[in-house]
Amino acid sequence: MKLNIKKLGPVSNSEIELGDVTLLLGPPNTGKSYTLKAIYAKLFPLDDYTLKLVKEKLVEKFATYLEHTSIRLTLDEFRDIFKTIVEMLLIVTLSQTEGMVGSSFEEVFSTLIKKTGLRGTIERQEDLLIVNIEAPSVSIPININFIKQTTQELLYDFITEIIPVEDANSVTFEPIELSTAEMSFVEEAREHEVLISTRQLLLLFEELLNYIREHHKEIISFSTARSLLAYLARSGITWGARTSIKPSIDRIELSSTITFKLRLRANASMSERPHIGIKLDYIERIVDDMFEKDRMSDPRLMHSIAKVIRIFANSLSDSLSEAILYESLRESFRSHLGLNDLRFIPFGRSIFVLGLESASREPFTRSEFLHRFVREFYSSTIASYVYWASKGRGRLLEDKLSEKQATLLKVSTPLLEGKLSTDAARRLLYRDWRGSTVDFQLSSALVEEVSGLVFTLLSVDDNALVLIEEPEAQLHPGAQIVMALFLASLPSLCGCQVVATTHSDLLAITLSQLVVQKPGKEWIKGLLEKLLPHVKGDIDALAEATAEAVGNLDLRVYEFTRKGRVKPVKPEDVLGREVPGISRVIDELTDWAFRLASYRASRETG
């Protein structure tokens, strides 16, 4: 997979081809983090959490468009669906108030089906009558250019929230350019089924009855001490509505199925039932009047109708957004790039993990709380990291790790210099190399920083691209070497590709040594024993996983310069000279110290 950069902050006209592990080296403020975030911003549909956030924004934009344009153009067709709902609810209510059950209800139902020309079924199940009505199909035209432009603008807005680019094509990928949303997908988009909010429709029905009672006293009488909704709930009537939505190249086809479940023995006593008298032949005229003229003169009724239209608009928009983002973009990414998942692990991981610990004792196991919390306070990349770290930690707490994830946790033991576990109360514990066990919140800074990376990896199943900002952050030099071994093991261990920025010469040298020298398990184990003599018996798994991975590990190294260039560096060159952008600083310090010592010596002898 090749990344092309035209202009991204300080970086211009550069090309980066990703390997199993890709290292981005260089001084600060040369574009390494921008590049990492650019990869994420362009491939975000692979991250289900962020994709959900973007979908919500797209649904809102499409719903506003449909509500104010296309749906109003098809109000006559929409009225047919609404009329069916009104007629059936009135019949249901009459059947209960007049004791109309069994064959009597079936006769009324058959009459309605013949009169309206709709399709429907009715069946008995013990003490239930189950009624299904299929409403007429509605065809809503859509402006395909509006849909395409809105989607492209949203994708560009998302990119510019994360990185400074002049246009969406500043960063592109090969073999497929993913910056624009192609609309050809809609010709093959699958049909969606969306559950409609039945409570909103029931509230509208109650308002309709009140409206009819006020404006058509000659054809209806209705009185009850209770709310009609309360009555329907007490009498054992339940109902639901589902909408099937099929997007096509220039329009959306909508059809609805309404289901009623009627108990033959009503729960409410006769004294609690509302007394309704109505001539069903007038229903059509009432609904026609309501849509054509009365809705303009009755603000309440107009507001209620608008609510129902909004329900349908949101359902249509959800279906369209699902097809664009999930069926088109995400599936294109997966098929062309061979990736299923995406994770971004930012610098300063311990701050976010501890912040969540402060917000709630175990927020990682409460996904809804966490979803609201991180959306309110964090940017997209950080919110995604916090969410997936919580998911991985939740898997550990709930003992739901797959075999691969359990192996990954075991391999991370030398890096953590101890083990993570849970107790009977599902608290997260840390057992250090001394054998002491403490609450996770009381563990060392090393554990807090490294666990943020490990938790996130525990949320990955397979074929993921993992982006890590400075994996060596806050780690002791020895731990930086162990981190390099851990990163090298990931492609083989969990099917992950890794892209990391770093300021660590130790990390770069270790990874280069692994690729060039290809050491076996015993050599890696020997290195770990020297680095971690206090960690007894827990290094075999990491040594074995690293040795297995380095046999075919594709390591790519790139140097970012202060002139805005990105240059490829061979791993063997990292070993043969200074680590680009890193070793020079150490050389300058050594030279300065040598010259200072010479100067002081000359002053003392002078």
Q: What is the DSSP string of 236-281?
A: T-EEEEEEEEEE-SSEEEEEEEEEEEEESS-SS-GGGS-EEEE-GG
Q: How confident is the model at residue 270 (pLDDT cuts 50, 70, 90)?
A: very low
Residue predicted with more confidence, 275 or 128: 128
For the chain, the domain total comes to 2
Contact 591, 578 (CB under 8 A): no
Q: How confident is the model at residue 441 (pLDDT cuts 50, 70, 90)?
A: confident
Query: Is 152 among the domain residues?
Result: no
Centre a 10 Å sphere on the Cβ of residue 58 and count the other Cβ atoms it contains.
22
Residue predicted with more confidence, 298 or 100: 298
- Under 8 Å CB-to-CB from 411, ≥6 apart: which residues? 486, 489, 493, 541, 542, 545
**Do 123 and 232 reside in the same domain of the chain?**
yes
∠ CA 248-252-257, rounded to 5°: 125
- State how far the Cα of 574 lies from the Cα of 562, in Å rounded to an integer: 19
Please give the pLDDT value at position 486: 96
What is the DSSP code (8-state) at residue 426?
-
Please give the pLDDT value at position 75: 55
- Under 8 Å CB-to-CB from 203, ≥6 apart: which residues? 229, 304, 307
Centre a 10 Å sphere on the Cβ of residue 445 and count the other Cβ atoms it contains.
10
Q: Is pLDDT above 80 for 71? A: no
- Give the range among 134-148, 218-232, 546-560 with minimum mean pLDDT: 218-232
Average pLDDT over residues 576-585: 70
> What percentage of the chain reaches a pLDDT higher than 90?
23
Q: How far apart, in Å, are the Cα atoms of 311 and each of 59, 197, 243, 298?
A: 12, 7, 11, 20
Tokens 């949203």 correspond to what residue?
154
Domain stop point among 309, 336, 368: 309
Phi and psi (nearest 5°) for 24? -110, 115
Q: How confident is the model at residue 101 (pLDDT cuts 50, 70, 90)?
A: very low
pLDDT, one tens digit per residue, over 170-227 is 888 877 665 555 555 555 566 777 666 666 666 666 666 666 667 666 555 555 445 5
**Do 494 and 585 reside in the same domain of the chain?**
yes
Strands 238-247 and 192-195: antiparallel
Average pLDDT over residues 412-425: 88
- Token pair, residue 206, equals 């109650």
Tokens 């603000």 correspond to what residue?
299
Strands 275-278 and 220-223: antiparallel
Residue predicted with more confidence, 117 or 530: 530
Contact 243, 196 (CB under 8 A): yes
Average pLDDT over residues 63-86: 66
Residue predicted with more confidence, 232 or 137: 137
Q: How confident is the model at residue 267 (pLDDT cuts 50, 70, 90)?
A: very low
**Do 86 and 22 reside in the same domain of the chain?**
no
Average pLDDT over residues 539-551: 93
- State how far the Cα of 503 lies from the Cα of 321, in Å rounded to an integer: 41
Q: Is pLDDT above 90 for 409? A: yes
- Under 8 Å CB-to-CB from 35, ≥6 apart: which residues? 3, 5, 8, 11, 16, 24, 501, 560, 566
Domain stop point among 278, 309, 340: 309
When mean pLDDT is compared over 70-74, 93-97, 256-260, the highest value belongs to: 256-260
Please give the pLDDT value at position 8: 87
**Do 473 and 569 reside in the same domain of the chain?**
yes
Please give the pLDDT value at position 273: 44
What is the DSSP code (8-state) at residue 235?
T
**Do 381 and 295 reside in the same domain of the chain?**
no
- Token pair, residue 65, equals 């468009």
Q: Is pLDDT above 60 for 160? A: yes
What is the DSSP code (8-state) at residue 400?
-
Residue 334, Cβ density class (10 Å: 0-12 exposed, 13-18 middle, ≥19 buried): middle
Q: How confident is the model at residue 61 (pLDDT cuts 50, 70, 90)?
A: very high
Please give the pLDDT value at position 225: 43
Please give the pLDDT value at position 124: 76
The structure's pTM equals 0.79
- Token pair, residue 235, equals 């009498």
- Give the range among 13-17, 144-148, 197-201, 483-487 with minimum mean pLDDT: 197-201
Q: How confident is the model at residue 473 (pLDDT cuts 50, 70, 90)?
A: confident
**Do 388 and 496 reside in the same domain of the chain?**
yes
Tell me the DSSP string of 291-317: IIIIHHH-HHHHHHHHHHHHHHHHHHH
- Give the range among 80-94, 223-237, 396-410, 508-522 with minimum mean pLDDT: 223-237
Query: Is 23 among the domain residues?
Result: yes
Strands 171-174 and 192-195: unpaired
H or E stretch including 171?
A: strand 171-174
Q: Is pLDDT above 70 for 9? A: yes
- State how far the Cα of 495 lies from the Cα of 455, in Å rounded to an integer: 16
Query: Is 443 among the domain residues?
Result: yes
Residue predicted with more confidence, 165 or 582: 165
Q: How confident is the model at residue 264 (pLDDT cuts 50, 70, 90)?
A: low
> What percentage of the chain reaches a pLDDT higher than 70?
67
Please give the pLDDT value at position 115: 67
Smallest CA-to-CA distance from 326 within 54, 37, 38, 3 is with: 54
Please give the pLDDT value at position 218: 59
Query: Is 50 among the domain residues?
Result: no
When mean pLDDT is compared over 112-116, 212-216, 543-547, the highest value belongs to: 543-547
Query: Is 490 among the domain residues?
Result: yes
Please give the pLDDT value at position 83: 64
Q: How far apart, in Å, are the Cα atoms of 286 and each of 114, 212, 213?
A: 20, 8, 11
Query: Is 34 among the domain residues?
Result: no
Query: Is 166 among the domain residues?
Result: no
Please give the pLDDT value at position 318: 84
Q: Is pLDDT above 90 for 35? A: yes
**Do 572 and 471 reside in the same domain of the chain?**
yes
**Do 373 and 486 reside in the same domain of the chain?**
yes
Q: What's the chain's average pLDDT?
A: 78
Q: What range does the domain containing 365 cover?
A: 12-27+349-595
Query: Is 336 among the domain residues?
Result: no
**Do 203 and 263 reside in the same domain of the chain?**
yes
**Do 100 and 17 reside in the same domain of the chain?**
no
